[in-house]
Amino acid sequence: MSASSTPIDGAGAMSPAAAGAASGGAGGTGRTGGEAGAVAASAAREPGGWRFGEERGDGAGGWQIEWTLRRNCSLAPAQMLGSFAVLSALSLAVATFFWQQGARLVMPFAWLEILALGAALLAYARHAADREHIALRRDTLTVERAVGRRVDRVEFQRAWVRVEPESGGDRSLIELSGQGRRIAVGRFVRPELRALLAAELRVALRREPPPAAA
């Protein structure tokens, strides 16, 4: 089995003729031209022609398309540490005031509060760097998933990759499978956008890489 190529315009989006023909082959079960057209319409609005991915390199070597999907964290590590320091100092200042007034039990509870806050922020920080990284090269598709301290890495032959919903329905996680291996991605993408990500992966798998330099 080999991956079939799909014509792509200069911006990286599918041409209208290709949109109606993009079904079956590498990239999973057959899909309608409407899905491919949705990818093309979305990609046309993005720099480089991809909604979630980024194309790097050229035919001279090092060509690849990368998707880096990260957890949406509102606080950077430095901001989180600063917030913890400010809240701890404020809590201790209030506890010290009441302790000086004779309320001796306030201080132990203040320390318990600080410890609980520290534990919560530590759990948050442990998953702040969670991510999924997908790299499509000429002959391979590599998926790396980092959750906490655990890192899973799976490499597929490009021509054998299937892209399907993990549990049925367009809002489920996306399962990449082939050659007896499988991995689910898309947990850091909003459920309503997972179908678009899956379609983009299928389009990329069908895309013909630029010719290698002689």
Distance CA 39, CA 194 (A): 12
pLDDT of the residue at 38: 54
Residues 106 and 133 in one domain: no
Distance CA 166, CA 170 (A): 9
H helices within 59-129, ranges in order? 77-100, 106-126
Label residue 20 by pLDDT band (50, 70, 90): very low
Residues 50 and 144 in one domain: yes
When mean pLDDT is compared across 19-28, 89-98, 166-175, the lowest value belongs to 19-28
11 belongs to a structural domain: no
Residue 58 near residue 210, CB atoms below 8 Å: yes
Give the count of alpha carbons within 13 A of 105, CB side only: 0
End-to-end CA distance of the chain: 26
pLDDT at 183 over 70: yes
8 belongs to a structural domain: no
When the pLDDT of each residue in the chain is averaged and rounded to a whole number, the result is: 78
Residue positions counted in the chain = 214
Pick from 141, 184, 165, 157: which is nearest to 29 by CA? 165
pLDDT at 35 over 70: no
Beta strand 131-136 pairing with 61-70: antiparallel
pLDDT at 40 over 70: no
Residues 99 and 25 in one domain: no
Residues 82 and 100 in one domain: yes
Label residue 17 by pLDDT band (50, 70, 90): very low
Q: What is the pLDDT of residues 132-178, one digit of tens each?
A: 999 999 899 999 999 888 899 999 999 999 999 888 776 789 999 99
**DSSP reduced 3-state for 176:** strand
Type of residue found at 38: A
User: Which of 126, 141, 166 is a domain's end point?
Assistant: 126
Q: What is the pLDDT of residues 186-203, one digit of tens each?
A: 999 999 999 999 999 999
φ and ψ of 62, to 5 deg: 80, 15
Label residue 127 by pLDDT band (50, 70, 90): confident
More confident residue, 33 or 98: 98
Full domain range(s) for residue 95: 77-126
Say which DSSP state 104 is in. Answer: T
Residues 43 and 141 in one domain: yes
56 belongs to a structural domain: yes
Structural domains counted in the chain:
2
Residues 117 and 38 in one domain: no
Q: Which two tokens stand for residue 185?
A: 């991605």
pLDDT of the residue at 61: 63
User: Which of 108, 126, 144 is a domain's end point?
Assistant: 126
Label residue 207 by pLDDT band (50, 70, 90): confident
pLDDT of the residue at 24: 40
